[in-house]
């Protein structure tokens, strides 16, 4: 496969051979790189089964050929910075403070026009080439042209002198190009070490460097008529309807006549805030409809920041978000590793926003984060999307609570349920969000500005070189905005708080993922507590116009593994079914338990759900049996949710703890290589070796030194 650069179209682990109880993957479908991105579906189709032990594999390709029109792009590496700055300074409007919405839009439009005029004047067009390589520079172009010139000369005269000149130029060309490409790669690796975002970008490049970017979108199945369509305009309309659905009305009867606490006053936006937001933005990130990248603002920050500060402050004062900030382009991209690319669910929207608007979004997001941490406006266990907090803190908190339950009295049972929200950001109720912001003391000017930002938005769907007309978007938060994560944290903070109010229950949030942990003397007791927590979550989802998704992850019953605690895990009776509800089966597998939890929200009932749903019993804190399934999902999709990563990290740390205890018993405890000898210790020894005795729990937000621990 490596010699001919072949790729398997089947998902790793797909069963293609069945004989009795034996299953294997022995039948493969291999394609070259040119066909990899044209795969529509490749899966086992039992409709074609002819009673053979080899299962039929159906693979469909989109073989239509279409010449795509490429939008002209600017070569920012060849920018004339001196000319760019002079044009911007010459065309910038006078500094002023608009008093009306129309004047505000006009002022912002004059700044945009000045930047666009400078870009047209000082930035040359980029000549697109399918042979372009990262690291190629003008020196490479020069030596290549010289080598070609001498080769033509030798072909004309065929003398020893012309051959020797060509040979030297050819060898010199090879050395120069190799050095340039190596230098370019090393520069990218150096950039990857500067931030996690750059590191993940490098990882994606390494994973996909041999696969070309997909150029075509295959025929799509209309969700209503189930008819296939190949027309680009119709496909774009299908994507628009899928990405921006009309959500149901939220139940906001509980917020009518609400009385809000005293608000937190916000000072005016300073030029320093504007400069910091511009400096922290990625220079050449894809721009919005105005085609102004962040680098354009970074080159003229000194002169434009007073104008932006005045614009942003007047925008807050008027409670009005300029219309230009609410324009966007929605690019359609494939989700990696999907079975069927004829359905819109196999694609994701990427929102490209106008640069100046994103700068203000970033400033407002930083302010909301600051007041949230300074005034404790959010639950402590709401981890994701907040500074100085990460998935590690969530793992610390959950594991500490589990050990506390195990070490309480004769040892209790802990049960964990992970919830996800379907289309969380797309279905946010604006009225509920604004109510939550006011309830948590956000100042009225900011709330009014956010309200203006969310309404009357417009976007154009872009795919295969085609763009739709402007369409109104009135649902959810702004896709691609740095403000959206912190807004959603304020939106679902009530869910975390309500679950934490229940007895022997704690909820941990990571953006739109929620982990609910309960503990008690028996699994039946924890099951009942999880049922109450799930009912609380359902009521919150109803009031918030959201839908809980219970397909992705199981609930886990965790006990210490002793003989006594195993007897505490008693069999529960099935809960009576409600005709209007579906069942989330949570007690099954290892110990023959049988019980159900009810949920009024949907779940996928496709084949194999009985393996994805269920509260799986474990005699110790070990997620090893579940991680291969999650790792397969990660390999299939190219990414992982935060809680899937969390379970994988728990497994790895348990294995590390086993190794550490083994070395400790042998009189050797190796000090791991780390910055300053620091490592996050989760004290998992009581899981690995019961002879180590009682575990002293520690704060999940503390870093300990190995030397002080031992």
Residues 204, 209, 211, 212, Cα dihedral to 10°: 100
What's residue 578's pLDDT?
A: 37
What's residue 599's pLDDT?
A: 41
pLDDT at 246 over 60: yes
What's residue 450's pLDDT?
A: 96
pLDDT at 483 over 60: yes
What's residue 383's pLDDT?
A: 87
What's residue 709's pLDDT?
A: 30
3-state class (DSSP) for residue 520: strand
More confident residue, 593 or 460: 460
Length of the chain: 710
Residues 147 and 166: beta-carbon distance below 8 Å: yes
Q: Please return the burial class of 360, using the count of CB atoms within 10 Å of its CB with bins 0-12, 13-18 and 19+.
A: buried
Rg over CA atoms, the chain = 29
What's residue 572's pLDDT?
A: 33
pLDDT at 417 over 90: no
What's residue 452's pLDDT?
A: 95
Mean of per-residue pLDDT scores for the chain = 77
Q: Which of 557, 549, 525 is closest to 626 using CA atoms?
A: 557
pLDDT at 624 over 80: no
Domain residue spans of the chain: 6-61, 138-208, 220-246+271-388+430-478, 391-423+487-639
Q: What is the pLDDT of residues 89-108, one digit of tens each?
A: 999 999 999 999 999 999 99
Q: Please return the burial class of 144, using the count of CB atoms within 10 Å of its CB with bins 0-12, 13-18 and 19+.
A: middle
pLDDT at 699 over 80: no
pLDDT at 254 over 70: yes
CA distance 197 to 209: 18
Q: What is the pLDDT of residues 322-351, one digit of tens each?
A: 999 999 999 998 887 788 888 888 899 999
CA distance 205 to 96: 46
Q: Which of 128, 34, 202 is closest to 465 using CA atoms?
A: 128
Q: Would you state the structure tokens that stand for residue 75, as one six-digit string?
A: 């070569």
Q: Could you tell me the pTM of the whole model?
A: 0.71
Partners of 422 in beta bridges: 547
pLDDT bin (cut points 50, 70, 90) of residue 606 is very low
What's residue 665's pLDDT?
A: 46
CA distance 707 to 710: 6
What's residue 224's pLDDT?
A: 84
pLDDT at 364 over 90: yes
More confident residue, 542 or 120: 120
pLDDT bin (cut points 50, 70, 90) of residue 583 is very low
Out of 249-263, 412-426, 644-658, 682-696, pick the least confident.
Answer: 682-696
Residues 15 and 24: beta-carbon distance below 8 Å: yes
Q: What is the pLDDT of residues 70-93, one digit of tens each?
A: 778 898 988 999 999 999 999 999
Mean pLDDT of 470-494: 91
What's residue 390's pLDDT?
A: 82
Q: Would you state the structure tokens that stand for residue 126, as one six-digit string?
A: 């980029």
Residues 618 and 590: beta-carbon distance below 8 Å: yes
pLDDT at 678 over 50: no
What's residue 397's pLDDT?
A: 87
What's residue 145's pLDDT?
A: 94
**High-pLDDT (> 90) share of the chain, %:** 36
CA distances (Å), origin 333, targets 213, 344, 350, 351: 10, 10, 7, 11
Residues 151 and 166: beta-carbon distance below 8 Å: yes
Highest-pLDDT range among 13-22, 155-164, 563-572: 155-164
More confident residue, 330 or 421: 330
Out of 114-128, 159-173, 247-261, pick the least confident.
Answer: 247-261
pLDDT at 305 over 70: yes
pLDDT at 567 over 50: no
Q: Which of 434, 441, 439 is closest to 455 using CA atoms?
A: 434
Out of 147-156, 374-383, 446-455, 558-567, pick the least confident.
Answer: 558-567
Mean pLDDT of 604-611: 35
pLDDT at 586 over 90: no
Residues 183 and 147: beta-carbon distance below 8 Å: no
For 312, phi and psi rounded to 5 degrees?
-65, -40
pLDDT at 223 over 50: yes
CA distance 228 to 342: 8
pLDDT at 425 over 90: no
pLDDT at 253 over 50: yes
Mean pLDDT of 112-128: 92
CA distance 343 to 311: 43
Mean pLDDT of 230-244: 88
What's residue 388's pLDDT?
A: 83
Mean pLDDT of 129-157: 88
What's residue 262's pLDDT?
A: 92
Q: Which residue has the tokens 């007041």?
A: 371
pLDDT bin (cut points 50, 70, 90) of residue 594 is very low
What's residue 561's pLDDT?
A: 52
Strand boundaries in 122-233, DSSP class E: 125-126, 220-221, 228-229
CA distances (Å), origin 511, targets 100, 477, 508: 36, 14, 10
Mean pLDDT of 376-398: 87
């Amino acid at each position: 496969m490596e010699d001919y650069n072949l790729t398997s179209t089947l998902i790793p682990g797909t069963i293609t051979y069945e004989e009795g109880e034996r299953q294997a993957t022995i039948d493969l479908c291999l394609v070259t790189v040119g066909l990899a991105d044209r795969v529509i579906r490749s899966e086992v189709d039992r409709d074609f089964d002819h009673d053979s032990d080899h299962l039929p594999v159906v693979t469909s390709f989109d073989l239509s050929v279409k010449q795509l029109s490429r939008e002209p792009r600017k070569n920012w590496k060849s920018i004339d910075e001196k000319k760019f700055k002079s044009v911007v300074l010459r065309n910038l409007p006078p500094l002023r403070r608009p008093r009306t919405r129309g004047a505000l839009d006009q002022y912002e439009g004059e700044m945009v026009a000045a930047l666009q005029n400078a870009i047209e004047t000082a930035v040359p067009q980029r000549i697109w080439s399918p042979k372009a390589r990262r690291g190629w520079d003008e020196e490479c172009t020069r030596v290549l042209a010289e080598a070609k010139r001498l080769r033509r000369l030798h072909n004309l005269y065929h003398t020893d002198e012309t051959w020797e000149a060509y040979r030297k130029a050819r060898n010199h060309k090879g050395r120069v190009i190799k050095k340039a490409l190596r230098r370019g790669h090393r520069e990218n690796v150096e950039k990857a070490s500067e931030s996690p975002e750059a590191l993940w970008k490098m990882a994606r490049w390494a994973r996909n460097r041999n696969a070309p970017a997909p150029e075509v979108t295959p025929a799509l199945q209309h969700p209503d008529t189930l008819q296939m369509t190949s027309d680009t305009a119709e496909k774009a309309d299908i994507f628009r309807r899928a990405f921006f659905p009309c959500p149901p009305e939220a139940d906001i009867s509980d917020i009518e006549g609400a009385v809000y606490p005293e608000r937190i006053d916000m000072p005016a936006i300073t030029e320093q805030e504007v400069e910091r937001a511009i400096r922290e933005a990625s220079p050449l990130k894809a721009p919005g409809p105005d085609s102004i990248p962040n680098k354009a603002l970074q080159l003229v920050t000194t002169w434009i920041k007073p104008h932006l500060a005045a614009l942003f402050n007047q925008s807050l004062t008027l409670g009005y978000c300029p219309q230009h900030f609410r324009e966007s382009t929605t690019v359609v991209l494939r989700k990696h590793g999907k079975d069927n690319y004829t359905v819109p669910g196999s694609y994701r929207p990427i929102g490209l926003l106008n640069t100046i608007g994103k700068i203000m979004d970033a400033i407002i997001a930083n302010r909301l984060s600051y007041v949230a941490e300074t005034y404790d406006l959010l639950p402590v266990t709401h981890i994701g999307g907040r500074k100085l907090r990460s998935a590690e803190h969530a793992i610390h908190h959950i594991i500490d609570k589990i050990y506390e339950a195990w070490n309480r009295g004769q040892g209790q049972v802990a049960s964990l349920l992970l919830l996800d929200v379907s289309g969380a950001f797309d279905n946010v109720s604006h009225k509920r969000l604004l109510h939550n912001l006011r309830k948590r003391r956000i100042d009225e000017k900011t709330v009014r500005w956010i309200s203006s930002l969310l309404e009357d938005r417009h976007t154009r769907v872009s795919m295969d070189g085609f763009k739709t007309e402007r369409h109104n978007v009135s649902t959810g938060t702004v896709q691609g905005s740095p403000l959206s994560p912190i807004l959603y944290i304020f939106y679902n903070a009530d869910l975390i708080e309500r679950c934490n109010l229940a007895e022997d229950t704690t909820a941990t949030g990571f953006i739109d993922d929620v982990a609910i942990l309960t503990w008690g003397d028996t699994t039946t007791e924890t099951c009942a507590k999880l049922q109450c927590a799930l009912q609380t979550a359902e009521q919150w989802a109803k009031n918030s116009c959201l839908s809980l998704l219970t397909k992705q992850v199981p609930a886990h019953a965790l006990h210490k593994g002793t003989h006594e605690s195993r007897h505490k895990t008693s069999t529960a009776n099935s809960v009576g079914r409600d005709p209007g509800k579906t069942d989330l089966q949570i007690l099954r597998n290892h110990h023959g338990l049988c019980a159900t939890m009810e949920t009024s929200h949907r779940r996928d009932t496709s084949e194999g759900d009985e393996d994805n749903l269920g509260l799986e019993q474990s005699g110790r804190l070990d997620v090893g049996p579940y991680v291969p399934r999650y790792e397969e999902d990660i390999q299939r999709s190219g990414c992982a949710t935060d809680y899937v990563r969390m379970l994988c990290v728990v497994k790895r740390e348990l294995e590390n703890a086993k190794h550490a205890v083994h070395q400790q018993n042998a009189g050797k405890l190796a000090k791991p290589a780390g910055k300053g000898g620091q490592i996050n210790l989760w004290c998992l020894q009581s899981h690995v070796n019961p002879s180590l005795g009682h575990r002293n729990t520690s704060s999940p937000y503390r870093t300990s030194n190995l030397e002080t621990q031992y």
